[in-house]
Amino acid sequence: MLKIGPYSFNSRLLLGTGKFPDFDIQKEAVEKSETEILTFAVRRMNIFEPEQPNFLEKIDVNNYTLLPNTAGAKTAEEAVRIAKLAKASGLCDMIKVEVIGCDKTLLPDPIETLKASEMLLEEGFIVLPYTSDDVLLAKRLEGLGCHAIMPGASPIGTGLGIINPLNIRYIIEQSSVPVIVDAGIGVPSDAAKAMELGADGVLLNTAVSGANDPVKMAEAMKYGVLAGRASYEAGRIPKKFNAAASSPLEGMSIL
């Protein structure tokens, strides 16, 4: 079970909803992924204009927990404004804090992310900040009371996978709240790697929406997350630098 604040989920895969070729493929991919949490940019939603086109229109949103995110915010104040808008429109009280500090790298602004998280916690939100893989910043965010920490594997949309597994491992080891590796996942083995490191979940979007076959990739990601989690729970063998026969012959007579 993935537990975030008062919420529990069976699936550990969180899926972004943007950039799909069309709404039918989006719907099918979401279903195949078996995700229970969908994230979307509040700014892209016509939340106060139900008659306008809705980019989740094909999805039965009652079957999912919607995780609004503050994409587009460049300051803490903007992020808080977006989060309040989401709450006012009746969306879930969970918020993914995304305050981008650089248009080229799309890396999160650490200071504004920290500020926004603090302000949103004071407002009673369930706060999930998207952060870099900075170990000390992750600790500071947890110290504020954030309900989960979402370190990036690599910059959004790059599909480069986990650039710094050691930092992700440190963040996981020190954290007493769920760690969800977010952004930069390219293939299911990246998602599996995150889970093998001990992540509680993985959030991804582009790897599925941009795949040649998004529906098949959504299913593959589901298995990647499941395999990685099972491997983590099973406990891997230690890495060794000396070979050890898989079928030891000691004590056996050679024919």
Ligand X SMILES: CC(=O)[C@@H](O)[C@H](O)COP(=O)(O)O
Query: Is there binding between residue 16 and ligand X (CB under 6 A)?
Result: yes
184 is in an annotated binding site: yes
Q: Rule CB under 6 A: is residue 118 a binding residue for ligand X?
A: no
| Nearest Cα to Cα of residue 151 among 98, 215, 76 | 98
Tokens 């989920």 found at: 9
Nearer to ligand X, 51 or 152 (CB): 152
Considering only the stretches 5-13, 53-61, 205-213, 235-243, report the one whose residues sit in contact with ligand X under the rule CB under 6 A.
205-213
CB 29 within 8 A of CB 8: no
Give one word for 191, left, alpha or beta, with left for phi > 0 and alpha for psi -120 to 50: alpha
**Distance in Å, CB of 132 to ligand X, minimum:** 12
* One character per residue 35-54, x = contact with ligand X (rule: CB under 6 A): ----x---------------
- Minimal CB distance to ligand X: which residue? 16
Q: Which token pair is 213?
A: 């076959």
Q: Based on the residue annotation, tell me whether 3 is a catalytic residue of this protein.
A: no
Residues 6+ apart with CB under 8 A from 145: 121, 127
Q: Is 243 part of any known ligand binding site? A: no
Q: Which two tokens stand for residue 106?
A: 């799309």
Q: Which residues bind ligand X (CB under 6 A)?
A: 16, 18, 39, 69, 71, 98, 156-157, 182-185, 203-207
